[in-house]
């Protein structure tokens, strides 16, 4: 039954016809989603071996036997988590700075015992990305629609944030899958009326954060949602639920394994808080603040590998012309939390000449070299773009589909770039994490060859 004052579809032929003509049948949608799954798997495979960007973009990557595949120089830190779980003596793992990121090693451990650290880790990464693809498609079908689910599947399948580190057995391979999971949990948290359900969802995000540092963005989003919904009584329990999994791991490592609580990897945010509490050098601080707009643009563009951020901006414009969808509360809160993280780091007073902590790692986060800190917002860009594709009709539908297709092609050119010799792939990957010159990717691939897993070269 129509709401009072509404018009039937028959009374609006100019709007009804395009929607019917452009709707996707279940068979067509299934074929398109299946094709996206195949593309995702192909992109994954072509980001393994010597083609793994997180290794191949280094000036001097590690080429390890027996096949001389490429690994990152921090390979030993990640392998140490396997040695820890395997019960090796402390000399094998005590010096690692990533022991607290245990979710991926725990999930990968059975496969690593079966196939070895490298192969078992890559298999786990593949299974996690397959699971994330299935979760995203299911979520999009339930909350957006079939056409939006197809768009989400293709945007995810070609996203270079997957290919950047999916082919290596490191905890970073869990970032994209658990970011998708965190988005789903945040979305349901924004709608639940049960405090117990909210605490369980916050606990789920806390568990996901033991894979990677998701709390600054998604933990912040959880608290912002509680405030926006005027649920102040939920906040204490949510804070406990968010930090409890990480706190338990920290307690086990410090008390049970005698690992120092702070190291160069996890002390960085406390250093920035210290600078805010002890501001100094006002002239230098003013010079930093002047650069904020430029840094905001550069970090925005590269945190999701150029093409998705540009098309997200285009979708926002198209949305104003067409369906006028509002940014949903979870989307707004994730973006605001990411903005807060950006300002915490980049708007902070300059570090004093003397060290605030025994670590020198923190100052490197400021600027445009660590756009990856804000990678979590890619799910907002992806889901909102899928929502616009689903909701747009009439004359603007073609523009929405075209924007989505351009994003898929642009992302695919980067994701498949190392294998297909795309010249700008190195620039995009290095913009995400500026640790080497862009030409390092092509130089390493020319030297070591373009060999995914299965193509072994024992001698160079």
Q: What is the pLDDT of residue 361?
A: 52
| pLDDT score of 7 more than 80 | no
| pLDDT score of 451 more than 60 | yes
Phi, psi of 293 (to 5 degrees): -60, -45
Q: What is the pLDDT of residue 8?
A: 38
- Cβ within 8 Å of residue 17, ≥6 positions away: none
Q: What is the pLDDT of residue 18?
A: 36
Phi, psi of 69 (to 5 degrees): -70, 160
CA distance linking residue 301 with residue 400, whole number of Å? 20
Percent above pLDDT 70 for the chain: 92
CA distance linking residue 417 with residue 424, whole number of Å? 8
SS3 for 279?
A: coil
Both tokens of 65, joined, read 């036997």
Mean pLDDT for the chain?
91
CA distance linking residue 339 with residue 117, whole number of Å? 37
- Write out pLDDT tens, residues 376-406: 999 999 999 999 999 998 889 999 999 999 9
| pLDDT score of 11 more than 80 | no
Among 18-32, 152-166, 346-360, 430-444, which stretch is predicted with the lowest mean pLDDT? Answer: 346-360
Where residue 366 falls among pLDDT bands split at 50, 70, 90?
Answer: confident
| pLDDT score of 358 more than 60 | no
* Helix axes 268-277 and 329-346, enclosed angle (nearest 10): 70
| pLDDT score of 13 more than 50 | no
Domain boundaries, the chain: 32-259+268-448
Q: What is the pLDDT of residue 21?
A: 38
* Contact assessment for residue 181 and residue 131, using Cβ atoms and an 8 Å cutoff: no
| pLDDT score of 20 more than 70 | no
| pLDDT score of 31 more than 70 | yes
* Contact assessment for residue 404 and residue 155, using Cβ atoms and an 8 Å cutoff: yes
Q: Which residues does residue 271 pair with via DSSP β-bridges, in sequence order?
A: none
| pLDDT score of 4 more than 60 | no
CA distance linking residue 38 with residue 6, whole number of Å? 43
Q: What is the pLDDT of residue 14?
A: 36
H/E stretch holding 84: helix 75-85
- Write out pLDDT tens, residues 89-133: 999 999 998 999 999 999 999 999 999 999 999 999 999 999 999
Where residue 29 falls among pLDDT bands split at 50, 70, 90?
Answer: very high
| pLDDT score of 17 more than 80 | no
Q: What is the pLDDT of residue 402?
A: 95
Q: What is the pLDDT of residue 22?
A: 53
């Amino acid at each position: 039954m129509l709401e009072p004052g509404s018009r039937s579809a028959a009374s609006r032929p100019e709007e009804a016809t395009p929607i019917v003509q452009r709707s996707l049948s279940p068979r067509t949608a299934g074929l398109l989603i299946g094709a996206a799954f195949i593309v995702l798997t192909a992109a994954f495979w072509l980001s393994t071996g010597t083609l793994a960007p997180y290794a191949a973009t280094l000036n001097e990557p590690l080429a390890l036997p027996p096949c001389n595949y490429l690994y990152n120089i921090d390979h030993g830190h990640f392998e140490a988590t396997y040695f820890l779980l395997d019960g090796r003596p402390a000399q094998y793992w005590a010096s690692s700075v990533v022991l607290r990121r245990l979710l991926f090693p725990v999930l990968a451990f059975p496969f690593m015992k079966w196939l070895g650290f490298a192969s078992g880790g890559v298999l786990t990464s593949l299974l996690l990305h397959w699971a994330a693809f299935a979760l995203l498609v299911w979520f999009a079908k339930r909350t957006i629609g079939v056409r939006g689910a197809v768009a989400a599947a293709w945007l995810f399948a070609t996203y270079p944030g997957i290919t950047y580190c999916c082919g290596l057995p490191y905890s970073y391979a869990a970032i994209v899958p658990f970011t998708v999971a965190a988005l789903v949990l945040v979305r349901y948290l924004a709608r639940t009326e049960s405090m117990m359900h909210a605490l369980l969802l916050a606990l789920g995000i806390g568990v996901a954060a033991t894979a990677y540092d998701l709390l600054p963005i998604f933990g912040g989003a959880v608290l912002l949602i509680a405030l926006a919904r005027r649920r102040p009584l939920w906040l204490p329990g949510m804070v406990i639920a968010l930090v409890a999994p990480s706190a338990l791991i920290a307690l086990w490592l410090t008390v049970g394994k005698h690992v120092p609580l702070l190291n160069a990897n996890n002390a960085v945010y406390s250093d920035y808080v210290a600078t805010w509490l002890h501001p100094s050098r006002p002239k230098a601080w003013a010079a930093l603040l002047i650069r904020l707009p430029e840094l905001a643009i550069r970090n925005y563009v590269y945190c999701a590998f150029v093409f998705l951020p540009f098309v997200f901006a285009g979708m926002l414009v198209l949305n104003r012309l067409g369906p006028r969808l509002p940014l949903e509360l979870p989307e707004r809160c994730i973006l605001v939390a990411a903005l807060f993280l950006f300002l915490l780091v980049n708007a902070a007073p300059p570090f004093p000449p003397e060290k605030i902590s025994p670590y020198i790692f923190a100052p490197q986060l400021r600027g445009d070299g660590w756009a990856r800190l804000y990678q979590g917002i890619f799910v907002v860009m992806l889901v909102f773009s899928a929502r616009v594709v689903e909701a747009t009709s009439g004359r603007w539908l073609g523009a929405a589909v075209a924007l989505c297709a351009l994003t898929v092609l642009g992302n695919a050119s980067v994701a498949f770039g190392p294998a297909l010799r795309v010249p700008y792939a190195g620039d995009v990957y290095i913009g995400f994490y500026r640790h080497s010159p862009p030409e390092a990717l092509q130089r390493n691939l020319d030297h070591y060859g373009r060999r995914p897993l299965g193509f072994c070269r024992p001698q160079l």
